Chain A
Amino acid sequence: MAATAVSDPLAELLPRIAAGDRAALRQLYQATSSKLFGVCLRILSNRDESEDVLQEVYLTIWRRADRFEASRASVMTWISTIARNRAIDRLRARGPLAYAEQVDELEIADDAPRAEALLEAAQSGEALGKCLSELDERTEKVIRTAFFEGVTYEALAQRMETPLGTVKSWIRRGLLKLKGCLEQ
């Protein structure tokens, strides 16, 4: 996303999409759907659901393209955030049972992609990855889990069998450190 800060080739599509230009939406779809599908799959681990969510995402972009502000974010950041939020909505709609079932999987499933992602981030000098890796491991993990699964404070506290206040304070301190590190 840092690379898009200078000139964002996707940014010119948004005003066209807002004006109802389907060809522009199609162009955006062609350029970004595999990225967003990857996001949905990571969060949902289910192809059918990810497909449904991806459809919702582009319909949302179609409706809300007029609300995109190039000055605030890159197109990729904006649409990735929409995809993540929609996927998490879907995940939450599965109900508390789904959360409970995922506890064990999480521990295993999270590790490999995380290591890879960190390596990749470190190699590309990506700031967020670097800053996350500077947090203590537990805090980093909690922040990543919350981000990819939309797990609430309460659910995190239950999973980790840790008092709510403690989890809150880990995350808040982690976020503060992240911000400081990103501003350097």
Chain B
Amino acid sequence: MSEPLDELPADEALAAEHALGVLSAPERAQAELRMAREPAFAAHVEAWAARLAPMLDALPAVTAPEGLWPRIERALPANDNGSAATRLWRGLAMGSMALAAASVAALVVLANRPPTVIAPQAPPSAGELLNARLDTSGGQHLFVAAYDPVRQKLIVTSLVTPGSDPVHVHELWLIPADGKPHSLGLIAPGTSKSMPMPEGLEKLAQEGASIAVSVEKPDAPKHDRPMGPVAAIGKLAKI
């Protein structure tokens, strides 16, 4: 450098500040947007991140808890498939039964189920499969469900990140046209569950009935309706 600057050029200063982490939230958001738009700016930020990263090298390594890898592995597909779930539902909207059968299989794959998963052996007869996606009031899909009225079997997949709410359990409900809820048991975050429709409920699990998930305390006394808030709800609909 023949003529040392007494300040970094404005763009680079901003990039360095972003990499260092001193920008306020709105400034950070702006910088992120700029990175997406301007490769040169993004390159500055990356170069600064690389310059500063050796500070992390000096930190001591600490063995991660043993159960963490299995947790990560379980979360992989569900996590991966915020977008896959969207693709899945887009596929369902096209109304092909072949797609529908594939989608039920995809639900199973989506949750990386342990071998206890029971995937349908053959596509159900045409026009019978019902699906529901359970959305929060904010419109986020938290669960997806598929019901095969012929086999009277329900598959539900939770897209909730495992460990995100360790102090509650999630309880599934069938709410038929008469509005009286029936518990379908618990579903663990990030897993999927395949279950026979409990006896007596088969007739109620029809198009238009709702599947809901309530958030309950694990030690809640036995209840015949949701005690905690209903986190997500969706109606069973033909494909």
By a beta-carbon cutoff of 8 Å, the part of chain A in contact with chain B is 1-2, 22, 25-26, 29, 33-39, 41-42, 47, 51-52, 54-55, 58-59, 62-63, 72-73, 77, 80-81, 83-84, 88, 92, 113, 116-118, 120-121, 126-129, 132, 143-144, 146-154, 156, 171-173, 175-176, 178-180, 182-183
Please determine whether A175 and B72 come into contact, CB atoms closer than 8 angstroms. no
Q: How far is the CB of B60 from chain A (nearest CB, A)?
A: 5
- CB-CB nearest 6 A-B residue pairs: A117-B58, A150-B21, A34-B61, A128-B54, A37-B64, A33-B64
Q: Chain A residues near B54: list those with CB within 8 A.
A: 1-2, 121, 126-129
Segment among B4-12, B116-124, B141-149 that sits at the interface with chain A? B4-12
Bound CA–CA A62/B197 (angstroms) = 36
Interface string of B71-87 (1 = CB under 8 A from A): 11101100110000000
Bound CA–CA A178/B167 (angstroms) = 46
Bound CA–CA A154/B26 (angstroms) = 13
Interface centre among B16, B20, B54, B75 (most CB of A within 10 A): B54
Bound CA–CA A128/B64 (angstroms) = 27
Q: Chain A residues near B4: list those with CB within 8 A.
A: 180
Please determine whether B55 and A128 come into contact, CB atoms closer than 8 angstroms. yes
Q: Chain A residues near B69: list those with CB within 8 A.
A: 26, 29, 33
Interface size grouping (class) on chain B? 35 or more
Is B1 in contact with chain A by the CB < 8 A criterion?
yes
Q: Chain A residues near B59: list those with CB within 8 A.
A: 35, 38-39, 42, 113, 117
Residue of B nearest to A57 (CB): B72
Q: Chain B residues near A117: list those with CB within 8 A.
A: 55, 58-59
By a beta-carbon cutoff of 8 Å, the part of chain B in contact with chain A is 1, 4-8, 13, 16-17, 20-25, 43, 46, 48-65, 68-69, 71-73, 75-76, 79-80, 163-164
Please determine whether B55 and A146 come into contact, CB atoms closer than 8 angstroms. no
Residue of A nearest to B57 (CB): A1
Q: Chain B residues near A150: list those with CB within 8 A.
A: 21
Residue of A nearest to B13 (CB): A172
Given contacts A37-B61, A38-B60, A63-B79, contact A77 B22 (CB under 8 A): no
Residue of B nearest to A132 (CB): B55
Bound CA–CA A119/B50 (angstroms) = 21
Bound CA–CA A59/B1 (angstroms) = 42
Q: Chain B residues near A54: list those with CB within 8 A.
A: 64, 68
Given contacts A81-B53, A128-B51, contact A58 B21 (CB under 8 A): no
Residue of B nearest to A84 (CB): B56
Bound CA–CA A183/B163 (angstroms) = 44
Bound CA–CA A135/B73 (angstroms) = 44
Bound CA–CA A111/B61 (angstroms) = 18
Given contacts A128-B52, A147-B55, contact A55 B75 (CB under 8 A): yes
Bound CA–CA A117/B60 (angstroms) = 9
Q: How far is the CB of A90 from chain B (nearest CB, A)?
A: 13
Please determine whether A37 and B62 come into contact, CB atoms closer than 8 angstroms. yes
Please determine whether A171 and B17 come into contact, CB atoms closer than 8 angstroms. yes
Bound CA–CA A80/B71 (angstroms) = 20
Given contacts A59-B76, A73-B46, A172-B8, contact A151 B58 (CB under 8 A): no
Residue of A nearest to B51 (CB): A182
Contact of A22 among B53, B56, B68, B73 (CB under 8 A): B73
Q: How far is the CB of B92 from chain A (nearest CB, A)?
A: 23
Please determine whether A22 and B76 come into contact, CB atoms closer than 8 angstroms. yes
Q: Chain A residues near B72: list those with CB within 8 A.
A: 29, 55, 58-59
Q: Chain A residues near B62: list those with CB within 8 A.
A: 34, 37-38, 41
Bound CA–CA A72/B15 (angstroms) = 16
